[in-house]
Amino acid sequence: MDLGLKGHVIVVTGGASGIGEAVTRACLDEDAKVVVVSRVSENVEHFIEEMQREEKPCDFIESHLEDPAQCRRAVEYVQQKYGRLDGLVNNAGANDGVGLASGDPDRFLESLRQNLVHYYAMAHYALPMLKEAKGSIVNISSKVALTGQGGTSAYAAAKGAQLALTREWAAELLPFGVRVNSVLPAEVLTPLYKRWLDTRDDPAAALKSITNKIPLGHRMTEGSEIAAMTVFLLSSKQSGHTTAQHLIVDGGYTHLDRALT
């Protein structure tokens, strides 16, 4: 399927690891120009080098996204270098376990800066270019926004707000032809997820316990499956009448009866 993304400029926050890396790869496979906005790490450097070796180079902007000024500078870089922006994938963030009892108001606010505020900041600063291109925003949220999890109040608040912002922005941007949607993963074996599993007494048993609860195939969702939905939503050619939607890619984990597992 031709998604019509060749030559399009797409920004992916946190786009060099986990789900973000899968989204970047999928966009590059469609011959889009990808700008990764992320902190620098050894894994990020390896990914950028790998893409260069595969002759699928992507641009990289080092940014601490919790700082709105750095979000602004990242967007200004895109404006100066490319002069356009066709798609924004808000993805960066992590479940930091700031719960009602285990956290405090200061940690809660810091978590919102890490997981939510940059979604708004990036969209705010990118808006003129997105309007000009009649582009698309895809917010990567989480099933936690719908189900709760326990012990993660701040992350749940951020993810729920991302869903609310998806519909709010879709409504506000209707006159400009800018589409806004969200994708909700549940259980995806990202590097962050693997690090969490490694803190369990028996990581293999913990993983087995989780996959047994996933109705379709009793397996984790692949990052590439989240990415496939994301690039479809970025495509005005193939999803040009899709906006304000929350698309859940989770093998039935969120909605199907647990009796099935």
DSSP 213-261: T-TTTTSPBPHHHHHHHHHHHH-HHHHTT--S-EEEESTTTTTS-GGG-
pLDDT digits (tens, 9 = 90+) for 223-236: 999 999 999 999 99
CATH 3.40.50.720 fits 9-188+223-260, yes or no: yes
pLDDT digits (tens, 9 = 90+) for 72-126: 999 999 999 999 999 999 999 999 999 999 999 999 999 999 999 999 999 999 9
Which of 110, 108, 166 is closest to 140 using CA atoms? 166
Which of 232, 234, 13 is closest to 134 using CA atoms? 234
pLDDT digits (tens, 9 = 90+) for 184-193: 999 998 888 8
Average pLDDT over residues 206-225: 94
Residue at 199: amino acid letter: T
* pLDDT for the residue numbered 99: 96
CB-count burial class (<10 Å; 0-12, 13-18, 19+) for 53: exposed
Q: How confident is the model at residue 52 (pLDDT cuts 50, 70, 90)?
A: confident
d(CA 131, CA 127): 6
pLDDT digits (tens, 9 = 90+) for 148-174: 899 999 999 999 999 999 999 999 999
- Spot the catalytic one: 119, 125, 155, 253: 155
Q: How confident is the model at residue 56 (pLDDT cuts 50, 70, 90)?
A: confident
Per-domain residue ranges for the chain? 9-188+223-260
d(CA 71, CA 125): 8
Asked if 193 is an active-site residue, the reply is: no
How many C-beta neighbours within 10 Å does residue 103 have? 19
* Residues in Cβ contact with 194 at an 8 Å cutoff, skipping those fewer than 6 apart: none
pLDDT digits (tens, 9 = 90+) for 10-19: 999 999 999 9
CA distances from 256 to 6, 25, 143, 160 (A): 37, 30, 13, 20
Percent of the chain residues topping a pLDDT of 90: 84
Which of 70, 5, 17, 84 is closest to 46 using CA atoms? 17
Which of 213, 222, 210, 226 is closest to 256 using CA atoms? 213
d(CA 143, CA 119): 17
pTM to 2 decimals?
0.95
d(CA 49, CA 137): 27
Beta bridge partner(s), residue 136 = 87, 179
How many C-beta neighbours within 10 Å does residue 72 have? 16
Name the token pair of 81: 């270098």
Average pLDDT over residues 226-248: 98
